[in-house]
Amino acid sequence: MAVKPENTFRTGVHRYIKGSGLHHEKMSNPFGSGTADDWYSGPGGDLWVEFKYIPRQPQRGSVKIRKLFSALQLEWLTGRYREGRNVAVIIGCPSGGLILRDEDWELEHVTIEHFNSRVRSRADLAAWIREQVKG
């Protein structure tokens, strides 16, 4: 079975997290949909992350954020955020990924300039994840 690009991207980020001492679980629930892809836990708290991947670095127009999610995913992310949970979305692309917080996953789109100016490397994404839960 072929590995999906999203999972290859996630693995690339997780390579920089291994050995950091934080707890991490891939969430998979065949009986319910929408739960974020990964849960991280450490002395500073929890973090839930939904990973998405676009196969090409955006060059023109805008990135249509909402189209990347199912309705159940949007409902889960927004619901947990409004409960006060630490929730994020990372949209990966070949050069790295963009972190979305504070319900930015509800945006219809973001400009290419915004997207490309905020892309972080896989190592930087892993460092950001560690910072969120290490305290």
- Mean pLDDT (10-residue bins), the chain, 135 residues: 81 90 83 86 95 86 88 94 97 95 91 91 97 89
Q: What is the pLDDT of residue 3?
A: 67
The amino acid present at 134, given as its one-letter code, is: K
Q: What is the pLDDT of residue 28?
A: 76
Residue 76 burial (CB count, 10 A): 20
Q: What is the pLDDT of residue 48?
A: 97
Please report the DSSP string for 13-69 in residue order. Answer: HHTTTTTSS-EEEE---TTS----SEEEEETTEEEEEEEEE-SS---SSEE-SGGGS
Q: What is the pLDDT of residue 61?
A: 80
Q: In Å, how far are 11, 36, 93, 105 from 29, measured between CA atoms?
A: 19, 10, 25, 21
